[in-house]
Structure 1
Amino acid sequence: MTTPATAVSTTGESLEGRRTLVTGGTKGVGAAAARRLAQAGATVLVTAPAGATASRPTT
């Protein structure tokens, strides 16, 4: 896994200092998107339906 300091978006741009919102990010495509955004340096806010649990912790 790459560190946020060296990760970049798919366009090659760093997302350091950017804030993102991922709806439905507790599993599947949403969770993968949230992880990738965080790896690229973004601060990620994840939302989900009431009662949903994350498929695995993301930090």
Structure 2
Amino acid sequence: MKKIMEIISYLALVLLVVAPLLFYAEKITLELNKTLMLVATIAWFASALCWMGRKSES
């Protein structure tokens, strides 16, 4: 489960970088950019809380 949450958080961070670039290149609208940024931010916070700052269980 921890690995899945790590992958989701990294994908959310990638989306946080890609969405403004797509807007700058005029591939998406401002509204879609805002929506993608909001969704990616929520996804990152939700998934990062599940795995960051915890010691491994080994």
User: Same-fold call, TM > 0.5?
Assistant: no
* Higher-helix-fraction structure: 2
TM-score range, shorter chain: 0.3 to 0.5
TM-score where L is the length of structure 2: 0.32
TM-score where L is the length of structure 1: 0.32
* Higher-strand-fraction structure: 1
Greater Rg over alpha carbons, structure: 2
Q: Per chain length, whose mean CA-contact separation is higher, i.e. which structure has more relative contact order (CA < 8 Å, sep 6+)?
A: 2
